[in-house]
Amino acid sequence: MPCTKCKEGKYKWGKTGECEYATKEACESANHKYKMQPTPLGKTYEEYAKELKEYNLSSQRFDFNDMKTLAKLLKESDKLDSKFKKLRDKAADAEVEYGELKVSTKDEKIKNDEALDGIIDVKKENEIRLEKAAKKAENAYNKYSDVAKKAESAKEKFDKEHQIVMSMKGEIQSFLLGFRGAVTQVEKAGKELGVDIPLDKFRSAIDKLDNLQQSYKA
């Protein structure tokens, strides 16, 4: 029956002992006589513990392979997380730029329409004022045309970035499906062996990546 570490840092003898030893050596020294007593199998607790440890290691080798798979998936999850954030930010910037130019286009269109209306009014008064108004309308149209072209270009840029992000969302969703399956497989294997395998960090990575890809609603 081995000495085990308690949550507060001290050690206890077996599963039912009290957490009263400062070090593992102190625990084993104080319970040395128990380690040397024969178990119902005819061996000492120390011999039985050694055989049990060797059995557990041999029966859980495939768990290490599963854990390596999870570690690899976790690393890939971090890469996808970083890549998706960059793509999402680029798409957001493109959307903001397009939104601003869209407003500017509307404002310039209003000015252009007003300038065109001004041509009619000025024409009735005299040719000189008509010439000035036409010049003003020409300038207004040039500005409107320039802004409209930029807005169209910005929209194309946004559409392109949006499609890239949506494609990335699909890739992440497929990845998470495999990631969740791997975690479930490890958890099932652990239950069959009666082993408590810590999987919180993998589930946390899954939730983090899932929330990230769902955050993009454009």
Q: What is the pLDDT along the chain (218 residues), one digit of tens a residue?
A: 578 888 788 888 777 778 888 888 888 888 766 555 544 545 555 665 566 555 554 444 445 678 889 889 989 998 999 999 899 889 999 989 999 898 889 889 898 988 988 888 767 788 899 999 899 999 999 999 999 999 999 999 999 999 999 999 999 999 999 999 999 999 999 999 999 999 999 999 999 999 999 999 86
pLDDT at 5: 83
> Is 214 exposed, middle or buried, given 0-12, 13-18 or 19+ CB atoms closer than 10 A?
exposed
pLDDT at 51: 60
pLDDT at 46: 61
Apex 198 CA angle, 200 and 25, nearest 5: 135
Domain boundaries, the chain: 1-59, 60-214
pLDDT at 117: 85
Give the torsion sign (CA, 59, 61, 62, 67): positive
The set of residues, in sequence order, having a beta carbon less than 8 Å from that of 35 and lying 6+ positions away, is 1, 28, 44, 45, 46, 49
Closest CA to 148 of 95, 115, 109: 109
Please give the structure tokens belonging to residue 208: 């983090």
